[in-house]
Structure 1
């Protein structure tokens, strides 16, 4: 039988010499180039394939916060709102390079303010300062489930989303089944129950019973 093969590599001789001399030996470098961590096993790599431990967003807490609070069933909705906020702020930063009396700046600012106000993203359509306040939550608050909670038609956004998906809610004259529907300001007063909805019947019966009790 032949002698077993020793450790191979560019530093193998130095490591053997250090071991014979009793000096501490540095850990062997893994195949991936990391001196500390070993190479991941197959099942570990599969479990962690979508995680990046080298890059962390500063606002990583905000995404799960909005998803839970406003019950965003599709995570991409948050990403879309985030991209829209980035586009708005990018446009605003470019407008600030123009003189304050520039006609282009005043026209675009007026159009942006009017559009954001009509969508319900801002409460005061005046100047760039209000548009700068637009964030992801401004879009989340205009979603139909959040509006149902605001009108006290549902206890939370999860229950409101169930009502919407089951076809109990209409906006104006249109039945809406998409919880991601953004309600414009002009339709704030048009949110109600669909005719024939069981929820509407329960609410009507409760209100009628309550009125009879008060009158008695």
Structure 2
């Protein structure tokens, strides 16, 4: 390979050509389109969160029912997931079935659509970004 010219080295100074994020998957594109997720990093955060919850729930399911740790941590996990709205019933089995879509259903733009304040999720996210949505006394943007 030829030696790079000066301006080429300056352009490539902050670029790492050996490490890059994996390409989009079909499922990721479907979820991002459905819930109007513009940043790929948001999807990756939701995916990581869902994976950690699943992993913890499956690890707790392997423990004996009489184990004090399973009871204590299981109740905390179930209560948190139920209070946030990720699961409908307070069962450990439901915690192990959490998906990215369940997490995206708790986004403000999706809730505005469910409450029929807007016609679609894209409009809801535009209203939210422009600062037209208030929760309590706080303007959300």
TM-score by length of 1: 0.53
SS for the counterpart of 1:67 is helix
User: After the TM superposition, which parts of structure 1 deviate over 3 Å for at least 4 consecutive aligned residues?
Assistant: 49-52
Quote the Cα distance in structure 1 between the aligned partners of 2:93 and 2:80.
Answer: 15
Unaligned runs of 5+ in 1: 1-48, 178-216
What residue number does 2:73 align with?
108
Deviations 1:128-175 (A, max 9, x none): 111122110011000000001001111111110111111111112211
1:152–1:86 Cα change, 3 Å? same
Asked whether 1:167 is paired with 2:131, we answer yes
Q: Which has the higher contact order (CA 8 A, sep 6+)?
A: 2
Quote the Cα distance in structure 2 between the aligned partners of 1:67 and 1:97.
Answer: 33
Unaligned runs of 5+ in 2: 1-18
What residue number does 1:75 align with?
40
Quote the Cα distance in structure 2 between the aligned partners of 1:116 and 1:97.
Answer: 19
Q: In structure 1, which of residues 91, 95, 108 is the aligned counterpart of residue 60 of structure 2?
A: 95
TM-score by length of 2: 0.80
The root-mean-square deviation of aligned C-alpha atoms, in Å, is: 2.0
What residue number does 2:12 align with?
none
